[in-house]
Amino acid sequence: MSDLLTTPLTQWHKDHGAKMAPFAGWDMPIQYAGIIAEHQHTRTKASIFDICHMGEFSLRGKGAAKALSEAVTQDLSTLKPGRCRYGFLLNENGTVIDDLIVYCYSDEQYMLVVNGARTHIDFETLKNRLPADLDFEDISSATAKIDLQGPESFTVLTNLMPGQGVADLPYFGFKPVQFRNVPILVSRTGYTGELGVELYMPWEHALSVWTALLQDPLVKPAGLGARDTLRLEVGLSLYGHELDDRHTPTEAGLGGMLKSQSMYVGKAHVHDVREELIPLAFENRRSARNQDKVFYEGEEVGYVTSGSFAPSLGYAVALAYVKKEVAQNTHFTIKGVAAELAATRVQLPFYKKGTARISIKDTLKP
């Protein structure tokens, strides 16, 4: 445990009874009251998540838009200031080095947010792709990130930050605000399928913002366990599971996002498909696990990437890669170490009542 990295909130988690575990090289909270309770609270009210392990990069300089467009898959020609966009960093084979979000301040200033376990790899990859005269900096160690997620999140935020205009944020929009003299970037994004924001702030102010959010009775802390079940219910991919350097975004079902006209690295192969990611549902709570084998008519055709009981649905779900030749079939069998499970291909998202895209004003009380 001594080799694990810690966030500015790690001691708070331990002091408040969190179950801690290694994640992406960090000592992170997995749960507090329990995964199902935290999951349901996020679906109905608002939860905060310590996501300080994520990586952030700053890019500045003349020609930044063109250079970045050739390094990542996002279509920066249509990305306006104050908006952000999800996409990928690919290798020459069109498979995924990482998924990331690009924030546009102007065509000469961007922020990139990447997965914690991939921060060093991503930075070195991009540094080699970008012109040396651009100012490209890893700002991860100075940047903390707290996610506020749930249908009541903007009620909480507008009470905490009155007069800041956060209720006007569009989906995948962002704006800088001031909270008790702390500069915070509020981004209407998230990883739960619910209405919410990701808050970026100086590392040293994370604890004060975290504790301020918890003053609202609508808010409870949630760990990475609930974050995983929440994202799986709405079919969001996780790097190292659904996304990796063996599969293209198209294989992961995300080819529709690849609209950039720029000749970014990997573009020639980005629509290559050998396997397809499919959503599976089970009859009861018993779930498949990562790497369980998938069979169709007695033949092994793939493997499970993520599986869990879905608290919002009352039964288990999974995502799995299977050979493209059988991907459109309906009935599969999952064979794990101790069980054989019947699975039915369904449509994403598994959970269809998420509030992520609803009007903020509809959630605010007069």
- Residue 286 CB coordination number (10 Å): 14
CATH of the domain at 287: 2.40.30.110
Across the chain, which has 366 residues, the per-10-residue mean pLDDT values are 88 98 96 98 98 98 98 98 98 98 98 98 98 98 98 97 93 97 97 98 98 98 98 98 98 97 98 98 94 97 98 98 98 91 98 96 80
Domain count along the chain: 2
Question: How confident is the model at residue 261, as a pLDDT?
Answer: 97
35: tokens are 């995964």
| Residue 148 within a domain | no
Question: How confident is the model at residue 338, as a pLDDT?
Answer: 78
The pLDDT tens digits for 82-115 are 999 999 999 999 999 999 999 999 999 999 999 9
Helix axes 224-233, 35-44, angle to 10 degrees: 60
- Rounded CA-CA distance 295/213 in Å is 47
Q: Phi, psi (5° rounding) for residue 34?
A: 140, 150
| Residue 29 within a domain | no
Question: How confident is the model at residue 366, as a pLDDT?
Answer: 64
| Residue 218 within a domain | no
The pLDDT tens digits for 153-189 are 999 999 999 999 999 999 999 999 999 999 999 999 9
Please provide the DSSP assignment of 75-144 as one string.
-GGG--TTEEEEEEEE-TTS-EEEEEEEEEEETTEEEEEE-GGGHHHHHHHHHHHS-TTSEEEE-GGGEE
Question: How confident is the model at residue 362, as a pLDDT?
Answer: 84
Question: How confident is the model at residue 361, as a pLDDT?
Answer: 85
Contact 29, 50 (CB under 8 A): yes
- The amino acid present at 253, given as its one-letter code, is G
| Residue 202 within a domain | no
Q: Phi, psi (5° rounding) for residue 306?
A: -150, 140
* Residue-number span of the structural domain to which 105 is assigned: 56-138
- Rounded CA-CA distance 260/312 in Å is 36
| Residue 251 within a domain | no
CATH of the domain at 74: 3.30.70.1400
| Residue 183 within a domain | no
Question: How confident is the model at residue 2, as a pLDDT?
Answer: 63
DSSP SS3 for 35: helix
